[in-house]
Structures are given as structure tokens and as C-alpha cells.
Amino acid sequence: MASPKIIAADQHYHCTDCGKCCRDWHVEVTAEEATELRALRWDDGDHPPAKPVFRFQGKTFVSHRPDGTCAYFDTAAGNCRIHAKHGADAKPLGCRLYPLQFSRLASGQHALSARADCPAVVAETGPLLSASRKDAEKLLHSMPELPVPSKEDASTLTPDTVHVVLAALSAGILDADVPLRQKAIALNLAASRLECLGAIFLNDKPIRDEVLETFFTRVLTDVPELRLRKQNIVEKWRYMSLLTTYLRRDEALIGGGLPARIRNANALRKLTLGKGNLRELDKDYPDGIIGHLQLLGEPAAAPPAESAARIVRLLKVRLQTQQFYGSANFGLEFFEGLRSVALTVPLIVGAARWRALCELRKTEINDADIQFGISAIDHSFGRMAVLRTPLFRILARQAWQPEAYARHISAIIQDQTYDQF
Ligand code: SF4
């Protein structure tokens, strides 16, 4: 039986039966799974839904109630009716899988991480993810074959180079004893410089080893050189567009028809251009009307150390499992994928800041804010279809240019060390 070769270190997971995944997410099913759901046998008093699945934009989903809860969720008992009556294996793969996510490395081996939009994962509760290896093996066995990244996905880096570069990047920058903002800018800058070095150079082991020895120290040293003017109005709009795109919850529109789409478009327009309320995008989002003048006015104090460490651990999971390029991230090639990982940092902190402002904390971000930011941004990373559109890609590419990136993140968080330069 196939077994995940790499399991994200430092990730913890134990389902707390909070029911969020049954209340908020929509589960897409295959035609076979839809047939199996229809064929399940129920007794009087079991209350299965009259219509197990529904179609939306050419896809099939497990039915939901008007409030968004899965039609099979037993609200009184707080559990899944399929699981309770027919066992875990009778549930669609998407339900059994969540929050685990697999990817394949160029070597053909499998990697495993856990989605940080699960409250138990973001709160880092329970045993290490590696304790789920047996369950993961079983799930992997029941999944369709995952694609191996192509040479083009990996920017023609060899599997060995990919492994070595990511390990060095993680140790040289993410483990460096510098503040979060400097780390994030350095990660983005390193991706840009590594791309300039190119595959021919990096695939040459002796040269690569020699260069990497001092490469990351130099990148960290060069961060203050990206000296800053403030974001201009176009950059503020770009940042707000990226942030609100990540915070969209298109699944909340499924089955809502045209009125829901109009409401959603209107909410996004207000959030991007003026003063908007995130609660209009998702019922679990913070409630408060915030505009970009507040969000991008004065930077917030750096998040608490444990919260910054939470963000860094998430970045390390992405690098370790390579779940940021190829099929894991809408076909982005290696270096762009790496920058898209860096881009999540100002977005996580921006979402966290939004929550803080809704609670009338002007410049202070706490750990609950950061957990919200991680959960909200990770929910979309590599998953939300709008992130693969040409317009979004243009915005993202502009935002991760090294100087622009430094301006975006510096508009959102302070860095005592760096701001003195
Ligand atoms: S959201 Fe996570 S913790 Fe909550 S029920 Fe689903 S898997 Fe369990």
C-alpha cells in the first residue's frame, strides 16, 4: 500500500467534532459517489434528505440545507448520518479526506499536510500529523492517482535540486532569527533571485552547494535595501483586490442563484473600493465596516511571537510538502509558486488586521486574529478557481515584485528593526 513519504512536521491534528466542515464547506462528488449516495438504505425515522445531491455549474455536490449545513448532518446529534448509520467508508471521499491533503513530488512519492482552514489544525491541537499515517495510507489507497509535477512545473529543476533548495530556504530564511516581516520579504526576494540564477546553474551540484552556503544570509542582509516609499493608490487597490479575492467565499453562492451573486459582487466592490463588511461574504467572518484607509493607514504592531511562529510553520509546511506549484497550485511553476507562498503572509496579516479592527483594536493584532487570517487565506490557497484567472495572476505578479511586495507588507505590519533603516 502507498504511504506518504513526507508528512508535514510540526502540524498537529485531531478532529474535535466541531462540525465546521459539515456546516460550511460544499463537498463535490463524482458520478459514482452520487449513485452510491442515492443507493444508501435508510429506515423510517432516519430522515435522509429527499435529494442526496444537486448539480451546479456542471459539478455535482452533496445537498445542503438553506443555512448551508450538509443535508446529512444530524444537527441534534452533532454528527453525520451517513457515518453513524453506514460507517466512515460510506461517506464521499471529500468528506473522508478533509482536512488531509496529499500531493505528489517529482520523485513520485506522496506528501501529506493538513488544511489550516480546519479549526483543529490552525489551533494546532492533538497529536502530530504523523500519527495519522495509517488513516492516510488507507485514504491514499482509495484516491485516484495524483499527477507528478512535470519538468516545466518545476522550472526544469531536478527533483534533487528542488529538495535541496527548499530545505536550504527553510533553514536559511524561515528559521532565521529575524522578525516576520523581514522573513517574508526575504522569502519573496530569495524566490526572485533563485529564478534569476536559473535551472542550469542550480542543477549543477558543486556550484549550487557553494552558492547556497552564503546566498540566504546575503538575501536577509539585502532586505533593508528595498527601501520604501509608501504604497500609492494603485498599489493599495491592488492589495485590497488580492485580499478580498482570497477572502471570497464562492461556495457560499452555490445554489443561491442570481440574487446571491449580485449581493456578493456588490459586497466585493465595497470591500475593494470603499468601506465594506466582510460578514457579507461569509456568515463566520468578523462583522464591521472597514475601509482601506483604516486597513492600510498606519501599520499594525507586529503580531505576538507565537502568532508569527504559527505563520512561519505554515510556510514551512508548504515548502516541505511542495504543495505550492504544479497541480497543487493551479499549475504555477516552481518560482511563481514560491512567491505565491510568500504572498500569503501580507494577506494573512491583512485578514487578521481586519478582524482586529472589527473588534476596535486599531494597531494590535492578537493570536485569535492570526488564526482567523491563516484559516481564511489557507482555505483559498491553491483551491479557489478565481485565483487561476489571468486577471488575478497579473495582480499577483505585480504584487510580488520585490519592492512592491516590501511595500505591501510594510503597509500592514510594523517591524521595529527594519523601520529604523
Ligand atoms: S472542521 Fe476539522 S475539527 Fe471540525 S469536524 Fe471538521 S475535521 Fe473535525
Q: Residue with the nearest Cα to atom 6 of ligand 1? A: 21
Question: Tell me, what amino acid is at 52?
Answer: P
State pLDDT tens for residues 333-345: 999 999 999 999 9
Please indicate whether residue 15, judged by its CB atom, sits closer than 6 Å to ligand 1. yes
Mean pLDDT computed over every residue of the chain: 91
- Residue 227 confidence (pLDDT) above 80: no
- Identify the pLDDT of residue 360: 93
Q: Let me know if 87 is exposed, middle or buried by CB neighbors in 10 A (0-12, 13-18, 19+).
A: exposed
Rounded mean pLDDT, 150-175: 95
Q: 16 CB under 6 A from ligand 1? A: yes
Does the pLDDT value for residue 420 go beyond 60? no
Mean pLDDT calculated for residue range 9-13: 92
CA of 19 to the centre of ligand 1 (A): 6
Local structure of residue 128 (DSSP, 8 states) = B
Residue found under cell 466585493: 268
29 CA → ligand 1 middle, Å: 19
What does the pLDDT look like over 71-121, one tens digit per residue? 999 988 888 999 999 999 999 999 999 999 999 988 889 999 999 999 999
Mean local confidence (pLDDT), 236-253: 90
Nearest CA to ligand 1 atom 7: 15
**How far away, in angstroms, is 75 Cα from ligand 1 center?**
15
**pLDDT band, residue 257 (cuts 50/70/90):** confident
pLDDT of residue 46: 84
Q: Is the CB of 118 under 6 A from ligand 1?
A: yes
- Contact 98 CB / ligand 1 (< 6 Å): yes
Q: Rounded to the nearest 10 degrees, how much is the dihedral formed by the CA atoms of 315, 317, 320, 323? A: -90
Task: For residue 101, list its beta bridge partners.
Answer: 113
Beta strands in 193-310 (DSSP E): 275-277, 289-291
pLDDT of residue 416: 63
Q: Is the pLDDT of residue 172 over 90?
A: yes
Please choose from 11, 12, 14, 20 the residue to mutate so as to test ligand 1's pocket, defined by most ligand atoms within 8 A of CB: 20
Q: Do 8 and 321 contact (CB within 8 A), yes or no?
A: yes
Q: Are 397 and 284 in contact (CB under 8 A)?
A: no
Higher per-residue confidence, 228 vs 313: 313
Cross-strand pairs, 70 = 64
The pLDDT > 90 percentage for the chain reads 70
Percent share of the chain, pLDDT over 70: 98
Among 14, 15, 23, 115, the mutation site with the greatest number of ligand 1 atoms within 8 A of its Cβ is: 15
Q: Where are the domains of the chain?
A: 4-34+44-142, 149-421
Q: Is the CB of 99 under 6 A from ligand 1?
A: yes
